[in-house]
Amino acid sequence: MPEGMLLRSGPDWHLDASEVHTFEAFLEDAGIAVADVDPVPISVFLEYAVWFQAHKGIVVDDRMVRVLMRSDDGFRVQLDDETELVAQWVVAAPGNGYFYHLPDWAATLPDGIGAHTSATVEFDDADGARVLIVGGRQSAYEWAALFGDHGAARVDIVHRHEIPRFERVSWKFVDECVDSTVRVPGWWHSLSQAQQDEIAATFWKVGRSTLEWWLTPRIAGPRFHRWPGSSVVDTRTPRNGTTTVMLSSGDRLEVDRVVFATGYKTDIARVPYLQALLPQITTFDGFPTLDERFQSSVRGLYLPGFVSTRDFGPFFGFTKGCPAAATIIVDHLLAHG
């Protein structure tokens, strides 16, 4: 997430399953009015995360896991400094960073020209640049705004659908879904396909086809150009020359950078530290198959977060689902420890 990013969630989304050290409690403790963080800057939420960590006594080990393996009594973990740890249980939340999606034609761009939004978090070199954003949902338009904020000379936004709505929306419908997941084991799978589809459609309407109201003034003016109903059909970069992008509309754009706001597609096989366990992890369409406690087919390995959305619903890929997932997993560990 880049510096200067604004969150779509409100002050009611937090990290504490006990409902004590919430984001709203942090704001009160810091003397920050809720109205002053509408929308919520990522910097303020990160301050909350540090505050939460301190109040919970959480000590973070910033070494990286290189390999996770099965052992006779659980798991063996090899870290990037060659240290090995043993564990009876493992909770792995790989997020979505490993799963960024790029169109096939991205490979035709010269090195240094194209990058996914997940790899575009600094804008120091944006001043005077001509930037093409591929995609038309929240990340596309927010990255366009960020490039504009940092002095881009021109920003083109190309997407196949029509221009989305920009208005204030409510995420309150998610609360009941998350609460039901904690209250009723396997709640998402207990729903009919029609019920799941209805919730997914609401989630799409609120989170994907409607974008945040605060983007509108930031993408106004002659620097910003939108190309709805269009796609990229070809790119050309002469040696030491400018990249030219041809659109399905017949228009041509000369660009210095291409940013892919093309989303994510779960594929658990892309998580490096899980490679040794892949033959034992049952999957469907790239997602691990999880039981009602977030446990994978590898007994003792729990996989919450983005990779759990197929079995628990789309809201579990967001902060809102974190306390619920923690509650479900820890209760299971305590009951079977």
Instruction: Check whether the bond before 314 is cis (ω within 30° of 0).
Output: no
Sign for the pseudo-dihedral over CA of 308, 177, 318, 63 = negative
Residue 134 confidence (pLDDT)? 98
Residue 43 confidence (pLDDT)? 96
Reported confidence tier of residue 68, pLDDT bands at 50, 70, 90? very high
Residue 242 confidence (pLDDT)? 87
Residues 6+ apart with CB under 8 A from 271: 92, 94, 98
My answer on whether 271 and 320 are in the same domain is: yes
My answer on whether 78 and 126 are in the same domain is: no
My answer on whether 51 and 154 are in the same domain is: no
- How high does pLDDT run on average in the chain? 96
Of the chain, the percentage scoring pLDDT greater than 90 comes to: 95
pTM recorded for the entire structure:
0.94
Asked whether residue 118 is assigned to any structural domain, the reply reads yes
Asked whether residue 223 is assigned to any structural domain, the reply reads yes
pLDDT at 336 over 90: no
Give how many domains the chain has, as a whole number: 3
Buried b (16+ CB within 10 A) or exposed e, 241-260: eebebebeeeeebebbbbbb
Asked whether residue 280 is assigned to any structural domain, the reply reads yes
pLDDT at 299 over 90: yes
d(CA 43, CA 277) in angstroms, rounded, equals 36
My answer on whether 13 and 121 are in the same domain is: no
My answer on whether 112 and 255 are in the same domain is: yes
> What range does the domain containing 146 cover?
99-167+212-260
Do residues 134 and 262 lie in contact, with contact meaning Cβ atoms separated by under 8 Å?
yes
For the segment 188-209, the average pLDDT, to the nearest whole number, is: 94
My answer on whether 153 and 19 are in the same domain is: no
My answer on whether 227 and 136 are in the same domain is: yes
My answer on whether 319 and 330 are in the same domain is: yes
Q: What's phi and psi for 284, nearest 5 deg?
A: -145, 120
My answer on whether 106 and 251 are in the same domain is: yes
My answer on whether 105 and 37 are in the same domain is: no
DSSP code for 216:
G
Asked whether residue 185 is assigned to any structural domain, the reply reads no
My answer on whether 329 and 223 are in the same domain is: no
Q: Return the amino acid letter for 25.
A: A
Q: What is the pLDDT of residues 230-245, one digit of tens each?
A: 999 999 988 777 899 9
For the segment 190-195, the average pLDDT, to the nearest whole number, is: 97
Residue 312 confidence (pLDDT)? 97
Q: What is the pLDDT of residues 86-131, one digit of tens each?
A: 999 999 999 999 999 999 999 999 998 999 999 999 999 999 999 9
Residue 268 confidence (pLDDT)? 98
Residue 309 confidence (pLDDT)? 97
Residue 201 confidence (pLDDT)? 95
My answer on whether 243 and 149 are in the same domain is: yes
Residue 152 confidence (pLDDT)? 98
pLDDT at 66 over 90: yes
